[in-house]
């Protein structure tokens, strides 16, 4: 019964006040070992694969249909790999595979680990804004990200594999689907997200120290793009499970 609860058993909605997403590129061979057998990497130029770090301030997070006053606000950080999955019907789905998640509230850590497979951990995340610079930090883990939100003429990060921001936006996230995998049962859990008015705006990352990513020891990792979106209603449909065989 407990394992069934983890399969995203009901729809969830929230309001994203802002979401900062940094995507890092690495040679695809370096990320292949981090995803399960049912998924393939979503690549650029058949060379680069991507890890995204999403830092999101939410409010009103609650089961879909519940009144807003019953929702809760959390700061969330998600570490995800861009992947593809071919469904039993032969549909090719673009989505994300979750490596880990962090939150600023013990309540979200508990509920997130009851109802999802996203590996939530409570950390000391703090967000401050001064002179148009957003500082997101965790004094316990050493995470520190500084983002310039003032500049409207932002260049792509140095060494980015993308030719322009239009090309980079394809890997801005979040993507329509999130996948989890039970290797014992060979079951794939598919959770579909629904959003409106999703217009990512390029941002400049002044500096970043992200221990979770650094501790993966990925060779050749480079910052590929960074975007922000604000004031977005969002919801996740109830998860659905299907069996997987190599195809």
- In Å, the largest CA–CA distance within the chain is 53
pLDDT band for 3, please (50, 70, 90 cuts): low
Reported as a single tens digit per residue, the pLDDT across 5-50 is 788 888 999 999 999 999 999 999 999 999 999 999 999 999 999 9
64: exposed, middle or buried (Cβ count in 10 Å: 0-12, 13-18, 19+): middle
DSSP H or E run through 73: strand 72-86
Distances (CA, A) of 93 to 16, 180, 191: 24, 13, 11
- pTM higher than 0.85, yes or no? yes
Strand order in the sheet with 143-148: 125-130, 133-138, 143-148, 204-209
Domain boundaries, the chain: 2-237
What is the bridge-based pairing of β-strands 48-63 and 72-86? Answer: antiparallel
Q: What is the pLDDT of residues 151-192, one digit of tens each?
A: 778 999 999 999 999 999 999 876 889 999 999 999 999 999
- On whether the CB atoms of residues 80 and 98 are closer than 8 A, the answer is yes
Contact 32, 50 (CB under 8 A): no
Q: To which CATH superfamily is domain 2-237 assigned?
A: Acetoacetate decarboxylase-like (2.40.400.10)
pLDDT digits (tens, 9 = 90+) for 192-206: 998 877 889 999 999
Query: For residue 1, what pLDDT band results from cuts at 50, 70 and 90?
Result: very low
């Amino acid at each position: 019964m407990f394992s069934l609860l983890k399969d995203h058993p009901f729809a969830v909605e929230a309001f994203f006040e802002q979401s900062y997403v940094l995507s890092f590129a690495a040679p695809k061979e370096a990320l292949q070992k981090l995803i399960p057998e049912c998924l393939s990497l979503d690549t650029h130029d058949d060379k680069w694969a991507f890890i995204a770090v999403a830092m999101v301030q939410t409010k009103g997070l609650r089961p879909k249909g519940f009144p807003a006053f019953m929702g809760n606000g959390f700061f969330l950080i998600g570490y995800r790999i861009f992947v593809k999955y071919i469904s039993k019907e032969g549909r090719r789905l673009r989505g994300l595979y979750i490596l880990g998640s962090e939150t600023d509230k013990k309540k979200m850590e508990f509920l997130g680990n009851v109802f999802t497979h996203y590996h939530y951990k409570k950390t000391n995340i703090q967000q401050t804004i001064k002179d148009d610079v957003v500082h997101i930090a965790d004094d316990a883990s050493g995470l520190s990200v500084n983002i310039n939100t003032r500049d409207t003429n932002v260049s792509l990060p140095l060494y980015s594999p993308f030719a322009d921001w239009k090309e980079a936006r394809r890997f801005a996230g979040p993507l329509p689907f999130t996948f989890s995998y039970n290797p014992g049962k060979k079951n794939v859990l598919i959770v579909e997200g629904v959003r409106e008015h999703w217009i990512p705006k390029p941002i400049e990352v002044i500096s970043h120290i992200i221990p979770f990513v650094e501790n993966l020891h990925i060779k050749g990792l480079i910052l590929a793009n960074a975007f922000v979106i604000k004031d977005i209603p969002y919801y996740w449909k109830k998860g659905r499970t299907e069996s997987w065989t190599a195809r």
